[in-house]
Structure 1
Amino acid sequence: MKKSLLLLMTFLCFSLTTNAQKKDKKNKAPLDLIAAEPDKELTGETFNRWSLEAEFGTAKGSKPYTDGYYANNPGKFFGGVQINHYGIGARYMFSPKFGVKANLNVDNLQEQNNSGSPAFQMQHHQFSGEGVVNLTRLFDIQKQAGRFGLLFHLGFQISRMTPQMGPQDKTEWNGGLVGGIAPQFRILNNVSAFLDVTVNSNVRQHYNWDGTTFSDGKNNLTGSLFRTSLGISVALGKGKMHGDWAIIQDKNDAKLDSLNNRIGEIEELMNDSDKDGVPDYLDAEQNSIAGVAVDTKGRMVDKNNNGVPDDLEKYVNNTISNNNTATTSAATENAVLQLINDGYIAVYFDTAKSNPNSASASNIGFILNYLKSNPSRTVDITGYADEIGGTAYNNKLSGDRAQAVKAILTRAGISESRITITPRGEDDSVDKQSDWARRLVRKAVFKVK
């Protein structure tokens, strides 16, 4: 039986390794690359539920023994190591947290060399069916654990004890509980190594582990057996990774994430960047001047269509009137000129873009109307960038922005000779960490001469 298990384990490992190599060649990815990058998050409902396992290690019956018999060598720490356990099994996970497993085990119990115990040999065959809990998923620490995992298993077992030495030659069937814990380490996406520590308890046992004493049927013994084994587990299925490690998003979590994203989008749409009372998603002119009346689409009101918002005209007229100065076209022009040169009329840009955003069209139109009404005037266009990005990149970007505004004005009929551009690079006058503050310095401003 032991030789058969060894042959089966060897064939299983060889077949699984060959299959993994074929899959890697098919995907044109070498095994070492997959092993080096196994931590890519895999989302979705598909994950491998089946796995085959093969293991070997040491098994020791702890009690009962006939007086004078024992398995450990008292002169060695932990009694030394004796490879006398072999097993194969299969596991199926109903969910990433819970599953079942079945194992077939063979243990060959005997005294250790130089232990001082009389010679004995007990062959122990066992079949177990157990429930499995993935503790890393149960406690939701799989991301922190990374390649490591931890399984707990507990269930029932049926075993057969057959003494190989001594006067007793009766085979006995018994049963009981079996449970253990298995730390595991993922080698490849579907291949892992594990260390399993298992405790077996026989509730109906009449042989001592040395096989030299058999109690009568009325005197049931309680037997204990401990195993420590190393093994390899290979997942089967179409998924890219076993469910022990695949990042699987719960359907309810997906719904919550989608809802949170929608709420975030609504909040962003309801922003009012120019504080004119019109949300950005309805605002056709998101750079309106503070205090200037706007219509329902956020556009500054200009009933006479002269390119100057009505509130600005009113402000200019009142200012001139309060100073007891005659209302003349020259005075109005000086007031408008001051607004332009003081930066109230500016063109704004999105991140890393050299073309003005659509909300700046009215401000470019304002400058266009002014230059057409004053053909003797020239204008300097100065471009700026925020602090995101390298200095050289931002210097070029600021120049490109000024050039883009110049191109619009020249195509609209303003002579190129009347326009001068100046790139000023980064404007560091605002908080670099504030998205809204950075929007205010991605701009081009005008100075009319």
Structure 2
Amino acid sequence: MKKLILSTLMAGALAIGANAQDFDKWSLEVNGGFNKPMAPLNKNFLSPSLNLGHVDFGVRYMVNEKFGLKLDYGFGSMKEAGSDDALTQEFDTKYYRLDLQGVANMGRVFNFESFTRTFGLLLHGGAGIGLVNPEMNAYNDFDDNVYNFIFGITPQVKLGKSVALVGDISTIINGRQTVTWDGAEAIRPDISNGYYGANGTWWTGTLGLQFYLGGNEEHADWYIAADKYATKEELATQINGIKDMLKDSDGDGVPDYLDKEPNTPAGARVNSAGVTMDSDGDGTPDHMDNCPFLPGPASTNGCPVEEVVEQLDFFKKAINDGYVNVYYAFDSSKPLGYSTSAASYVSNFMKKNPGVSVEIKGYADELGPEDYNMKLSERRAKAVYDLLIASGVDASRLSYKGYGEDTSVDKSSADARQMARRASFEVK
């Protein structure tokens, strides 16, 4: 019972923590570095492997911690490789591009938090428009309007709550590019018709910064879903508070916060609310009543005045009328704490009456397979058998048996099914 209560309260506390947190979604990005035109180039021109001359700016919005969108603008200049033997001719080409891209945060997709919370990785890809503008050679000042596709990878290093250092390598494919990167020749002779293939290829490599906007503890790039739950310290505080709630000061099996009588004496029979039981309603609680199932005044310790009846007869009547039972939770053979006092009652009586033998009878409700319930009922009877032996009753005076399903109760009623999940006693 305590474990069930503890699990329920902890789940509620963690759910509250989950709803209380969020992450920032916007960021600004600035990068600068190298470019490299790959093709098409005239045979008389070469480009450097790393041509310093590219800058881009971007704004990004993350829909969630894994996926988002960004709009970025890039521009730069491409020049010749340079050669002492003058085999390479000069060129200088400016370019501009504007792209809308999708972004995937691979750090969250692949759970980088299992080994680092400092390094991240973004993948991005999309499309846009651009302009290639040679400033030298045959097509000097020709405005080559293109569309493009862009794909890239962006490693990240978290520097603080609001900023990260990033590198990026992107490949761009231009479509409808009419002239070569060097501006020396047209890709097709008739430049008036343009060239509508994806024929211009280049890449950029940059280093830059990402600035996160917002007032939350983390941006989506670094937000970890598990962090929405309580920290270790917060969880320890919550557990300690719950443990305090589950204290059972009087040891009757009912935690204090549910116990309506948190100071009942040791050995007293109580119900599920921790209230001392008075089975015959005569005002004398069972643990003080010598005749707990027959009403009588306190002056005779709860026994009737009009006739003297042996205590053994009271006990047999209580057993035969089904007043003394140990109860169990669904599919369990562990006695519910509040009902173990019934076993204590039987134990005390047997010690006072050494000639008495008792059979313990186990029962189950009608839910589940019949053969399984038969075995479950026997385990329940065996659990009470073990309790009585542990209390000092000789095993030779005890027997136990499982009787399977109790079909005398209303199967559709949860309360009735609870009454069926029991172990009863029969005096021999």
For normalisation by structure 2, the TM-score amounts to 0.51
Structure 2 equivalent of residue 52 of structure 1: 28
Distance 1:48 1:97 in 2: 13
Contact 1:295 1:301 in 2 (8 A): no
Kindly provide the amino acid, as one letter, of the partner of residue 202 in structure 2: L
Residue deviations 1:261-280, cap 9 Å, x none? Answer: xxxx99x9999999988788
| 1:57 CA drift (Å) | 1.0
Mapping of 1:301-312 within 5 angstroms?
A: 301-303=287-289
1:262-301 mapped onto 2 (5 Å cutoff):
294-296=269-271, 297=274, 301=287
What is the percent sequence identity of the aligned residues?
Answer: 27
Determine whether 1:180 maps to 2:149. Answer: no
User: What is the match of residue 164 of structure 1?
Assistant: 135
Structure 2 residue 37 is the aligned partner of structure 1 residue 61: yes
What is the CA–CA distance in structure 2 between the aligned matches of 1:186 and 1:67, rounded to whole Å? Answer: 44
Task: Name 1:207's counterpart in structure 2.
Answer: 179
8 Å CA contact 1:120–1:166 kept in 2: the answer is yes
Partners of 1:113 and 1:43 in 2: how far apart? 60
The one-character-per-residue Cα deviations of 1:387-441 (angstroms, maximum 9, x if unpaired) are xxxxxxxxxxxxxxxxxxxxxxxxxxxxxxxxxxxxxxxxxxxxxxxxxxxxxxx
Task: Write out per-residue CA displacement over residues 302-356 of structure 1, whole angstroms, 9 at most, x where no aligned residue.
Answer: 32699xx97676566446x99xxxxxxxxxxxxxxxxxxxxx9xxxxxxxxxxxx
Give CA deviations for 1:136-162 in whole Å, capped at 9, x if unaligned. 223444454412211111111211111
| Cα distance in 1, alignment partners of residues 247 and 207 from structure 2 | 59
| Aligned counterparts of 1:202 and 1:310: Cα–Cα separation in 2 | 90
Unaligned runs of 5+ in 2: 1-16, 231-240, 277-285, 291-297, 302-343, 357-390, 392-428
Mapped to 2, the partners of 1:129 and 1:49 lie a distance apart of: 17
Secondary structure, aligned partner of 2:107: helix
Shift of 1:174: 0.8
Once residues 208 and 42 of structure 1 are traced to their aligned partners in structure 2, the CA distance between those partners, rounded to angstroms, is 56
Relative to 1, partners in 2 of residues 1:117 and 1:43: Cα closer, same or farther, differing over 3 Å? farther
Q: Say if 2:102 and 2:126, in contact at 8 Å, map to a contact too.
A: yes
Going from structure 1 to structure 2, the CA distance change for 1:140 and 1:286 (only over 3 Å counts) comes to farther
CA contact (8 A) 1:54 1:232 kept: yes
One-letter code aligned to 1:234: F
2:106 counterpart residue number:
135
SS in 1 for 2:108: helix
In structure 2, what is the equivalent of residue 97 of structure 1?
Answer: 66
Separation in 2 of the partners of 1:278 and 1:238?
A: 46
Please give the alpha-carbon distance, in whole angstroms, between the structure 2 residues aligned to 1:160 and 1:87: 15
Q: Partner residue of 1:154? A: 125
1:348-427 equivalences under 5 Å are none
In 2: Cα distance, 1:124 partner to 1:62 partner: 14
Give the 3 Å change call, closer, same or farther, for CA 249–55 of structure 1 in structure 2. Answer: same
Q: Quick one: structure 1 residues 285 and 83, their matched pair in 2 at CA, closer, same or farther if it must change by over 3 Å?
A: same
Equivalent residue for 2:78, pick from 84, 109, 128: 109
2:308 corresponds to: none
- Partner residue, 1:189: 161
Q: CA deviation at 1:249?
A: 6.6
In structure 1, the partner of 2:55 is 86
Distance 1:175 1:313 in 2: 93
CA distance in structure 2 between the partners assigned to 1:84 and 1:42 by the alignment: 46
Q: Distance in 1 between matches of 2:263 and 2:112?
A: 46
One-letter amino acid of the structure 2 residue matched with residue 89 of structure 1: G
Deviation at 1:113, TM superposition (A): 3.4
Q: Which position in structure 2 is the counterpart of 1:246?
A: 223
**CA displacement 1:331-386 (0-9 Å, x = unmatched):** xxxxxxxxxxxxx9xxxxxxxxxxxxxxxxxxxxxxxxxxxxxxxxxxxxxxxxxx
State how far apart, in whole Å, the 1-side matches of 2:120 and 2:288 are: 68
Structure 1 position 66, deviation (Å) = 0.7
Amino acid at match of 2:289: K
* Cα deviation digits, residues 230-284 of structure 1 (max 9, x gap): 1101011222321211235799x99xxxxxxxxxx99x99999999887885596
**Alpha-carbon distance in 1 for matches of 2:174, 2:93:** 15
Distance 2:345 2:171 in 1: 88
In structure 1, distance between residues paired with 2:101 and 2:206 = 17
Q: Is the 8 A contact 1:190 1:240 kept in 2?
A: no
Partners of 1:55 and 1:230 within 8 A in 2: yes
Residue type matched to 2:121 in 1? Answer: L
User: Do the aligned partners of 2:78 and 2:92 also contact (CA within 8 Å) in 1?
Assistant: yes
CA distance in 2, matches of 1:148, 1:44: 26
Partner amino acid for 2:44? G
Output the amino acid matched with 2:215: K
> Aligned letter for 1:303?
D
CA-CA distance at 1:189 after TM superposition: 0.6
The answer to whether the Cα contact below 8 Å between 2:60 and 2:69 also exists between their aligned partners in 1 is: yes
Mark the CA change 1:118 to 1:171 in structure 2 (over 3 Å): closer, same or farther. Answer: same
SS of aligned partner of 1:184: strand
Q: Deviations over 1:49-85 (max 9, x none)?
A: 111111111111100011132213xxxxxx3x33111
